[in-house]
Amino acid sequence: MSPVLSSVQPLRRALALALRLGTNAQTGSGYAAAENRRFCPAVSSGVAPLRASSRRYSSGTAPLIRQLFESESCTYTYLLADTETREAVLVDPVLETIDRDLKLLQELELNLKVAVNTHCHADHITSTGLMKRRLFGLKSAISKFSGASADILLSEGDKIAFGKHYLSVRETPGHTDGCVTLVLGDESMAFTGDCLLIRGCGRTDFQQGCAKRLFNSVHQKIFTLPEHCLVYPAHDYKGQTVSTVGEERKFNPRLTKSLEEFVNIMNNLNLAKPAKIDIAVPANLVCGLHEV
The residues of the shown chain that bind Fe ion, judged by CB under 5 A, are 121, 194
Name every residue whose Cβ is closer than 8 Å to that of residue 131 and which is 6 or more positions away in sequence: 90, 93, 98, 101, 102, 112, 115, 138
Q: How far is the CB of 245 from Fe ion (least distance, A)?
A: 21
Q: How far is the CB of 101 from Fe ion (least distance, A)?
A: 19
Residue 136 vs 206, nearer CB to Fe ion: 206
Q: How far is the CB of 179 from Fe ion (least distance, A)?
A: 8
d(C-alpha 196, C-alpha 80), whole Å: 20
Q: How far is the CB of 201 from Fe ion (least distance, A)?
A: 11
Residue 158 vs 194, nearer CB to Fe ion: 194
Residue 35 vs 194, nearer CB to Fe ion: 194
Residue 113 vs 121, nearer CB to Fe ion: 121
Phi, psi angles (nearest 5°) of residue 177? -65, -30
Residue 164 vs 290, nearer CB to Fe ion: 290
Per-residue CA distances from 224 to 158, 211, 249 (Å): 18, 19, 10
Q: How far is the CB of 119 from Fe ion (least distance, A)?
A: 6
Q: How far is the CB of 255 from Fe ion (least distance, A)?
A: 17
Name every residue whose Cβ is closer than 8 Å to that of residue 148 and which is 6 or more positions away in sequence: 117, 120, 142, 178, 284, 285, 286, 287
Residue nearest to Fe ion (CB): 194
d(C-alpha 106, C-alpha 280), whole Å: 27
Residue 63 vs 200, nearer CB to Fe ion: 200
d(C-alpha 195, C-alpha 203), whole Å: 8
Strand-pair category, 243-244 with 230-233: antiparallel
